[in-house]
Amino acid sequence: MTIPKWYVDDSKPWFKKYQEGVPNHPEFPVISLGDWFDQKTDEFAKNKCIYFSKTFMNYKVLRKYTDSFATSLSRLGVKKGDVVAILLPNCFQFTIGYFATVKLGAIVIPINPTYKPIEILHVLQQVKPKGLLCMDVMYGLIKPIQEKYKFEFVISTCIVDLAAIPPAVKEQLIADGTIPKGEVPGAINFLDVCQKRGEIDIPEVEIDPLNDTAVYLMTGGTTGVPKPAIITHYNCVTNAKQNVMWMPDASHPMACIGILPMFHAFGMTIVQNVVIEGGDFNILYAKRELDLKEVVDMIIEVGPEGGVILPGVENLFIGLTRYLKENPEPKLQNMFRLCVSGAGPLHKPVKDAFEAISNGTLVEAYGLTECTTAVSVGPFDGTDTPGTIGLPLPGVEWAIFDSEDFSKGPLHGYGIESTGEICVCGPQVMKGYLNRPEATAEVLKEWEGRTWCLTGDIGYMDEHRQMVIRDRKKQMIKY
């Protein structure tokens, strides 16, 4: 008998804490991100998909725009292996550009708009994108470096492109500065290529989901020097499926509050891809500065029947708890069904205070860019253990290895005396770092025929084999 690559032995103690309905041994289809997107948009065609700028878009319309945009990208010369940069906040255009690109077998590189121009140049010189999809008001980040890096084409979009605003009203809002608008000399207008009438003509491309790259995600890794992590089609699809498997009692369709930026790994996976896997919809938030009143008002306005998925960081839940205490809102009771805090510890007083005021569920999650994002999540059935980073997602195995010598193998004890480096094996582990074989070899290592990702986090396992993080091998920020 051949043991599947992602088989996790039934003897692992964490299975005893899995919520009923979560599979021990999941099967993940080997499918490209574009084909997966087509399957989901067919399956959920009539469902709402994205809510942004007081406008709903359903899966059928999202598919139409994406296919039209993919056709235009192809006619602009984008082909398999090319790279397309996306410099956008959360909006309709991000998801359209993302899936249009991967349908062609091309590679997405999301650009962080909080980067300085010199940092963006560093990214561009590493991944060498052919074209750029850019928010017009963000082009100022590109201007200072446009002589040092030349795109073959630039597609410019306004934040309210595709929003259901009458043209005359839109023009007035732009004129009075309510809607920001920027100039991008020589750029192609997004609406001209997204709404172009005519036959959809997306070339057939042979994609190997296990090996072909879908996305480059910038990460500091364990060295602190930003470099592109190579994320495959298979990585993206499996991580989306793992997260939906973790929510067996979810009342789909739910609404995911898209505060996390989709140009980050956390936002790309949880806000965008997990939502599509479940047939749910996004309430997207684009502003850099968070206004909790706006977020709460959007939830009340939309009134999602299945409740809310809210991924964020601990400070978000601290702020939301304070806001709800000062501004009680009966319509939000029982609305926060599945809330996840990641990118840092979730302290028990924060968890308890939020759950008390919202009557919702808040658990801690753990992930890293090198694992497409999500590695572990606390169970949503009330059995999570505060102070730990949850349980490994279906298909994930983790272990504590000697932090100085991986070749010694995993430590078999538990408790603080068995502290070492947290290492992860699973279908969402990246292929490596782009053009960085030495850095890749430091992070991806073989043990007993499987590839393990060395996270750089130091911790230990409790008796249920849940992880407790104590320190970083090298202090730095990964997200």
Q: What pLDDT was estimated at residue 213?
A: 98
Q: What pLDDT does 267 receive?
A: 85
| Calpha distance 92→163 (Å, rounded) | 9
Helix (H), strand (E) counts: the chain: 13, 22
Task: Count Cβ atoms below 10 Å from residue 318 Cβ, excluding itself.
Answer: 16
Going by the DSSP 8-state scheme, the letter that residue 215 receives in this structure is E
Between CA 168 and CA 177, with CA 173 as vertex, the angle to 5 degrees is: 150
Q: Which pLDDT score is estimated for 470?
A: 86
pLDDT at 66: 97
Q: Which helix (H) or strand (E) holds 452?
A: strand 450-461
Q: Please, what CATH class does the domain formed by 52-207 belong to?
A: alpha beta
Low-confidence ranges of the chain (pLDDT < 50): 1-3, 475-479
Using CA atoms, how far apart are residues 170 and 181, in angstroms rounded to an integer? Answer: 11
**Residue 47 burial (CB < 10 Å; 0-12/13-18/19+)?**
middle
**Residue 476, pLDDT score:** 42
Distance CA 30, CA 10 (A): 24
The per-residue pLDDT for 263 is 92
Instruction: Output the CA–CA distances (angstroms, integers) from residue 341 to 260, 266, 378, in the order listed.
Output: 11, 11, 10
**CA triple 299-304-310, angle to 5 deg:** 60
What's the CA gap between 433 and 276, in Å, rounded? 27
In angstroms, rounded to a whole number, what is the distance separating the alpha carbons of residues 119 and 127?
13
Per-residue confidence (pLDDT) for residue 306, from 0 to 100:
83
Instruction: Tell me the three state secondary structure of residue 468.
Output: strand
The number of C-alpha atoms within 13 Å of 172 and in the hemisphere containing its C-beta is 5
Q: pLDDT (tens digit, 9 = 90+) per residue, 415-424?
A: 898 899 999 9
The string of DSSP letters for 146-158 reads: TTTS--SEEEEE-
Look at the pTM and tell me if it is higher than 0.85: yes
Which sequence spans correspond to the domains of the chain?
Answer: 52-207
